[in-house]
């Protein structure tokens, strides 16, 4: 029998799962554990008899408006499940917050590895690292090639004006999440507003696409077995996904990037391409020009800084449910400075 975990009361969760998943046997042994719960939604692993499931719910404590929407996350998984974009199969959605205190959904656990730290890639040979990077960028290109109307996502977001809306949205979230005064963030937000590209392409975007938001089959030529964490997905500019991916990417000689604890060191192993090489590979697959990429990289740095400020705030109030977030706040000013430098280099 599972015991209560933060955000997951055992008995109501068990009753709902037995009613919603017909393959479950009430006599099966249960076990539950928190997989992650700091940067985004809380993820739990449920082992029920011979099967293993993943349950996702919003974080505890203060949640930003329109963030952590379980219904939207479930919807995009259902839409993409029949496509070439690898996602976990969505099994059941609970919209009743009275069950465990918030909406949640359940999916089967996908076999493979999540590469969250330098230690996770430490045993990979250069060939495998290169294969993983190639699979990752091809997966992003495949996502951006999805016909939103054909898969039922034509109304998943507004078309056009994506960058301006993103800046407005993340400015509001910064004002709600900030734990301190940071004049450079005000300068970065102002510079982004002044440098919005004239291009206005629309595609299905993940919103937080990065290596550690995927499950990798390291035994199968670095295949991406599933893309996870779709809570920020919408219709938007595909280069925004690329810019954020490059924000997370850690080149081997980038000592400043090492100070940003999130995803630090994951892609410094020999065989991983540089961020610049990865961007040009995306361009070669999709045919999209990269002349405006500095703007999207700066936008990505700003978004990650706001996300980390929110995590820092939850850490200060004791509402994160995983360890390792003591120093996450120090990454915020570093990211803001990188964003400003990137925009400055674009203008000159």
Across residues 1-9, what is the average pLDDT? 85
Is residue 51 a part of any domain in this protein?
yes
What CATH number is attached to the domain comprising 25? 3.30.200.20
Question: Tell me, what's the pLDDT at 40?
Answer: 66
Asked if 88 and 228 count as a contact pair (C-beta separation under 8 A), the reply is yes
Is residue 228 a part of any domain in this protein?
no
14 or 319, which is more confident:
14
Is residue 102 a part of any domain in this protein?
yes
Across residues 214-239, what is the average pLDDT? 93
Across residues 75-88, what is the average pLDDT? 98
Is residue 309 a part of any domain in this protein?
no
Mean pLDDT, all residues of the chain:
91
Confidence of residue 41 (pLDDT cuts 50, 70, 90): confident
Token pair recorded at residue 31: 């076990």
Question: Tell me, what's the pLDDT at 65?
Answer: 45
Is residue 27 a part of any domain in this protein?
yes
Q: Give me the number of domains the chain comprises.
A: 1
The contacts found for 326-334 with CB under 8 angstroms, 24 or more apart, are: 327/261, 328/38, 328/261, 328/262, 329/179, 330/259, 331/259, 331/260, 331/261, 331/262, 331/305, 332/182, 332/185, 332/305, 332/308, 333/182, 333/184, 334/256, 334/259, 334/260
Question: Tell me, what's the pLDDT at 275?
Answer: 98
14: containing domain: 10-108
pLDDT at residue 231 greater than cutoff 80: yes
Is residue 302 a part of any domain in this protein?
no
pLDDT at residue 277 greater than cutoff 60: yes
Is residue 47 a part of any domain in this protein?
yes
pLDDT digits (tens, 9 = 90+) for 261-274: 788 999 999 999 99
Is residue 271 a part of any domain in this protein?
no
- In whole angstroms, give the CA distance from residue 254 to residue 269: 13
DSSP-H helix ranges across the chain: 10-20, 70-80, 118-121, 126-144, 162-177, 183-194, 238-248, 275-286, 293-316, 331-347
């Amino acid at each position: 029998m599972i015991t209560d975990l933060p955000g997951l009361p055992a008995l109501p969760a068990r009753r709902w799962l037995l009613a919603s998943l017909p393959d479950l046997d009430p006599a099966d042994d249960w076990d539950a554990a928190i997989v992650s719960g700091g940067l985004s939604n809380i993820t739990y692993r449920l082992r029920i008899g011979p099967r293993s499931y993943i349950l996702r719910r919003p974080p505890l404590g203060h949640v930003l408006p329109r963030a952590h929407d379980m219904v939207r996350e479930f919807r995009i998984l259902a839409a993409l499940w029949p496509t070439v974009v690898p996602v976990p199969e969505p099994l059941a959605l609970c919209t009743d917050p009275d069950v465990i205190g918030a909406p949640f959904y359940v999916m089967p656990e996908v076999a493979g590895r999540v590469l969250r730290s330098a230690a996770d890639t430490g045993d990979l040979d250069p060939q495998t690292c290169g294969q993983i990077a190639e699979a990752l960028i091809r997966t992003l290109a495949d996502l951006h090639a999805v016909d939103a109307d054909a898969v039922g996502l034509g109304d998943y977001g507004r078309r056009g004006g994506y960058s301006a809306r993103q800046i407005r949205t993340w400015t509001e979230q910064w004002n709600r999440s900030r734990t301190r005064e940071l004049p450079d963030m005000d300068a970065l937000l102002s510079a982004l507003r002044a440098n919005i590209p004239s291009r206005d392409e629309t595609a299905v975007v993940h919103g937080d696409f990065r290596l550690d938001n995927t499950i990798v089959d390291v035994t199968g030529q670095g295949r991406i077995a599933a893309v996870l964490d779709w809570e920020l997905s919408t219709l938007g500019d595909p280069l925004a996904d690329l810019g954020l991916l490059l924000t997370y990417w850690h080149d081997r000689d980038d000592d400043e990037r090492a100070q940003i604890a999130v995803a630090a060191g994951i892609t410094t192993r020999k065989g991983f391409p540089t961020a610049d090489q990865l961007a040009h590979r995306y361009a070669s697959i999709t045919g999209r020009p990269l002349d405006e990429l500095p703007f999207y990289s700066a936008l990505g740095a700003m978004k990650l800084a706001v996300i980390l400020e929110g995590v820092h705030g939850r850490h200060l109030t004791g509402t994160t449910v995983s360890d390792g977030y003591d120093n996450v706040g120090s990454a915020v000013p570093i990211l803001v400075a990188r964003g400003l430098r990137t925009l400055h280099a674009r203008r000159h």
